[in-house]
Amino acid sequence: MGFDNFFSGEMLVFCLKIFFASISGLLIGLEREIKGKSAGLKTNALVSLGACVFVIVSLKFQGEQYADVTRVLSQVVTGVGFLGAGVILQQQNKIKGLTTAATIWCSAGAGCLAATAMYSELIIFAICVIVINIVFGFVDAKIENRR
Alpha carbon distances (Å) from 75 to 64, 71, 78, 110, 117: 19, 6, 5, 15, 19
- The model's pTM is 0.85
> What is the per-residue pLDDT across 130-144, written as a single tens digit (0 to 9) for each?
999 999 988 888 888
Residue 1 vs residue 38, higher pLDDT: 38
Q: Where are the domains of the chain?
A: 8-146
Q: How many Å apart are CA 84 and CA 108, to the nearest integer?
A: 11
Q: How many Å apart are CA 142 and CA 147, to the nearest integer?
A: 9
> What is the per-residue pLDDT across 32-46, written as a single tens digit (0 to 9) for each?
999 888 888 999 999
The mean of the pLDDT values for the chain is: 89
